[in-house]
Amino acid sequence: METKIIDGKAFSEKLVETVAVEASKIKNAIGRPPALAVVLVGENSASKVYVRNKIERTEAAGMRSIEHRLDADTDQATLLALIEEMNNDDAVDGILVQLPLPDQIDEDAVINAVAPEKDVDGFHVVNAGLLATGQDSLVPCTPYGCLLLLRDQLGSLSGLNAVVVGRSNIVGKPMAQLLLKESCTVTIAHSRTKDLKEVCARADILVAAVGRAEMIDGDYVKPGATVIDVGINRVAAPERGEGKFRLTGDVDYDSAAAKAGAITPVPGGVGPMTIACLLRNTAVAAARRFNVDIADI
Ligand code: NDP
């Protein structure tokens, strides 16, 4: 059977179109479009690219983007004061503080300072707790994007064996919670897992969020499994010229694709879904704050 390549770029474009329709409904109801505030502290070059993309895509979806750029030496109190101001600003629906933050700032303190109803990253402990107890919450964007791709590919996920490799708060843990909510039998694997290959090779759904370039090869993949590669790694690509890089996932694409039933590529798989889900969360946050009925997106 031929392996299906899951086109996250095309799916994310459709999702953004749907979000734009819902955003315009919200605008009609409250007199302004949903608004996302993004805070960037310092000069991390990858973060600058992500933030630029987020701003462009927010505006393309008919929503308002508010940008705060702070110096790399900004202290924690200054950042917390800005967050407090945005929490109290009725014209701000979503707040995203781009991670990582400089060393002088405690990330957990910042994440938990954002009002949970404006926490479009879904990282606040209240949103994590709501998700873990199966209640409505703002769900972290990357795992939610993976879930949308899985539902589109497989329909019902009920009863499937899912293995998530990685247990971070931003990807692995919320991914596992979402799959559990879909009635998968979920295993969370990590750096101390014994016999990782055997564990993974039992998975109908294998999600790789490891942060190690091309670690998960075909030996980890059950024939016919659906493989979701969350990883984004920059590796040297001397074949493209001196000092050049290419992006690659946590999955060794060719060998995994030879066994999988379906697989996400990198780039063009999970990556574009993350921003689309951020826009979705912004629309959802605005709709909930002002009791506007929107479609289930
Ligand atoms: P973290 O570094 O926070 O977590 C990595 C996890 O992988 C940890 O739980 C770690 O285990 C586990 N791990 C590391 N090495 C191994 C190993 N040899 N065997 C088994 N498990 C291992 O990463 P993130 O969750 O933040 O990100 C994961 C990947 O996803 C990265 O490549 C990142 O770039 C990418 N990413 C992509 C996004 C997108 O939009 N597509 C968004 C966010 C992240 P332990 O806990 O024991 O240390």
Q: What is the value of ipTM here, to two decimals?
A: 0.99
Do 265 and 145 share a structural domain?
Answer: yes
- In this prediction, residues 51-71 reach a mean pLDDT of 95
> Do residue 97 and residue 39 come from a single domain?
yes
Q: Please write the tens of the pLDDT for every residue from 167-179.
A: 999 999 999 999 9
CA 220, chain centre distance (Å):
23
Euclidean distance between the first and final Cα of the chain, in Å? 32
Do 152 and 266 lie in a common domain? yes
Q: Is residue 295 part of a domain?
A: no
Cite the annotated binding site for NADP(+) by residue number: 166-168, 232
The percentage of the chain sitting over the pLDDT mark of 90, rounded to a whole number, equals 96
* Host domain of residue 253: 141-271
DSSP category for residue 216: B
Give the residue ranges of the annotated binding site. 166-168, 232
Q: Is the CB of 190 under 6 A from ligand 1?
A: yes
Candidates 171, 192, 235: which one to mutate for ligand 1, based on the most atoms within 8 Å of Cβ? 171
Q: ∠ CA 87-140-85 to the nearest 5 degrees?
A: 10
- Is the model's pLDDT at 85 over the cut of 80? yes
Q: Which residue has the higher pLDDT, 129 or 50?
A: 129
Q: Looking at residues 91-108, what average pLDDT do you find?
A: 97
Q: Ligand 1 center to residue 135 CA distance, Å?
A: 26
Residue 271 above 90 pLDDT? yes
* Pairwise CA distance, residues 81 & 41, whole Å: 14
For residue 214 and ligand 1, the question of a CB distance below 6 A is answered with no
Contacts 24+ apart (CB under 8 A), 135-139: 138/281, 138/284, 138/285, 139/174, 139/178, 139/277, 139/281
Please name every residue paired with 189 in a beta bridge, in sequence order, or none if there are none: 165
| Least confident piece of the model among 94-98, 143-147, 237-241, 282-286 | 237-241
- Is the residue at 162 inside a domain? yes
Mean pLDDT of 198-211: 98
Indicate which atom in ligand 1 lies nearest the CA of residue 250.
32
| Residues labelled as active-site residues | 54, 98, 121
Q: Assess whether 95 and 163 both reside in one domain.
A: no
The pLDDT tens digits of the residues spanning 273-287 come to 999 999 999 999 999
178-189 CB burial, b ≥16 within 10 A, e <16 = bbbebebbbbbb
Q: Out of 163, 168, 219, 251, give the residue to mutate to test ligand 1, the one with the largest number of ligand atoms within 8 Å of its CB.
A: 168
pLDDT score for 45: 86
Q: Is 271 in the pocket of ligand 1 (CB under 6 A)?
A: yes
Domain of 166, CATH number, reads: 3.40.50.720
Asked whether 170 lines ligand 1 (CB < 6 A), one says yes
The residue written with tokens 């689309």 in the block is 276
Say if ligand 1 is within 6 A of residue 268 CB.
Answer: no
Please check the confidence at residue 1 and state whether its pLDDT lies above 90.
no
Q: Are residues 98 and 147 in the same domain?
A: no
251 touches 229 (CB < 8 A)? yes
Instruction: State the pLDDT confidence band at 46, using cuts at 50, 70 and 90.
Output: confident
The answer, yes or no, to whether residue 255 has pLDDT greater than 90, is yes
Number of domains within the chain? 2
Euclidean distance between CA atoms 17 and 276, whole angstroms = 9
Query: How far is residue 82's CA from residue 39's CA, in Å, rounded to a whole number?
Result: 9
Q: pTM of the prediction?
A: 0.97
